[in-house]
A = this chain, B = another copy of it.
């Protein structure tokens, strides 16, 4: 409904009544914007006054930077000639807050990591929010603050955004899309399709902590694991360290949905090679191993949000391990397997008991909404 003031005049000069209205509006506008509501309303998604207040008082206040500040519908920035990377990810994790992080930190790190493991330097992020009517403004602030901190740590900026509000029962509090662009500062061609027999497979740290943390936080398992926290972290620094030290890096991937096993299956197919993983060599924390057993799921299928899988020239595997371990996010890195040629397209697991089994792609979704 238009709430425009109706002013009955046909002259060009404002009447006294009009001037009062103008003065009142002007005064209201000069106030620092402040969200008065405690919860998100449909009006916050209207594009009108409430949207503007939300954007200025919550998003701009936290993300503030010269590219975002004009609040135009798009951000603009100069680029050098070269190659760029573009990636997108939506986050629907439940619960929104969990030990070691929240959806905001996850949304920044996840997109930063997709750019980093592609070998690109993350540059700018966009943030698209879908909010459920009734979502607490304080929770939104907490998420946005956490995004700002994560962006600062990763050396990126949120340069443009969008907010939609849906009715109660049409979302689950807050969903976030982050899309990122990055620049390639080297000419190396990375990609799982370049894996070849003799290459080594490394992980940068213990697997499955993020996924298990989320499951435990939901209270679906009767397990206490006070020390377990999400591994969410920006991997761009670790990636740079690895690329600088090891010319023979073939590919990197962050082991999110589907975990390490899914990535290795994608690599095996893309390069038409086999991958053999030594179960004993895979770092897994005791709490993760215990919970995984109760869930009947292999930790190699559980999501991490701050671990990468690297495929490197076999002769440079030790150098890669040294480079990873020298970085704070890679102290527990390990060489977990090898690329072979037979059977092509397959991942085999040499189990701790001396057997071998095929580690195929997952069917079903044992851990929904972990990111």
Binding site for B on A (CB under 8 A): 1-10, 14, 21-22, 25-26, 29, 41-43, 45-52, 70, 72-92, 114-115, 117-118, 120, 124, 126-130, 159-162, 164-167, 169-172, 175, 177, 179-182, 184, 191-193, 253-254, 256-258, 261-262, 269, 296-298, 301, 303, 343, 345-346, 349, 354-369
Contact = CB atoms under 8 A, between A and B. Distances in A.
Given A70-B191, A76-B83, A161-B88, A363 B3 contact: yes
Nearest to A167: B368
Given A90-B177, A167-B368, 18 more contacts: A4-B359, A7-B357, A25-B358, A46-B257, A46-B367, A48-B364, A49-B360, A73-B114, A74-B85, A74-B86, A74-B182, A76-B118, A77-B83, A79-B79, A89-B162, A90-B128, A92-B170, A171-B172
Contact of A4 (B120, B256, B298): B298
A357 B22 CA distance: 11
Contacts of A118: 72-74, 76
Nearest to A28: B360
**Copies in the assembly, this chain:** 2
A248 to B, nearest CB: 19
Contact of A126 (B47, B75, B179): B179
A162 B88 contact: yes
A161 B89 CA distance: 7
Interface centre among A115, A117, A124, A343 (most CB of B within 10 A): A343
A254 to B, nearest CB: 8
Interface centre among A80, A182, A192, A365 (most CB of B within 10 A): A365
B81 A364 contact: no
A84 B297 CA distance: 45
Contacts of A355: 6-10
Contacts of A5: 357-358, 360
A137 B124 CA distance: 33
Given A79-B82, A179-B88, A253-B73, A2 B297 contact: yes
Contacts of A26: 343, 345
A191 to B, nearest CB: 6
A205 to B, nearest CB: 19
Contacts of A253: 73
A346 B14 CA distance: 12
15 contacts: A2-B298, A3-B363, A3-B364, A25-B358, A46-B364, A46-B366, A49-B362, A51-B257, A73-B118, A74-B114, A75-B86, A76-B85, A88-B179, A90-B128, A166-B175
Given A2-B297, A269-B29, A343-B22, A77 B86 contact: yes
Contact of A89 (B77, B128, B354): B128
B74 A87 contact: yes
Nearest to A158: B88
A91 to B, nearest CB: 8
A72 B263 CA distance: 11
B10 A354 contact: yes
A118 B159 CA distance: 15
A-B residue pairs, 9 tightest by C-beta: A47-B257, A48-B362, A47-B258, A46-B365, A74-B87, A88-B126, A179-B179, A177-B177, A81-B81
A228 to B, nearest CB: 21
A161 B364 CA distance: 21
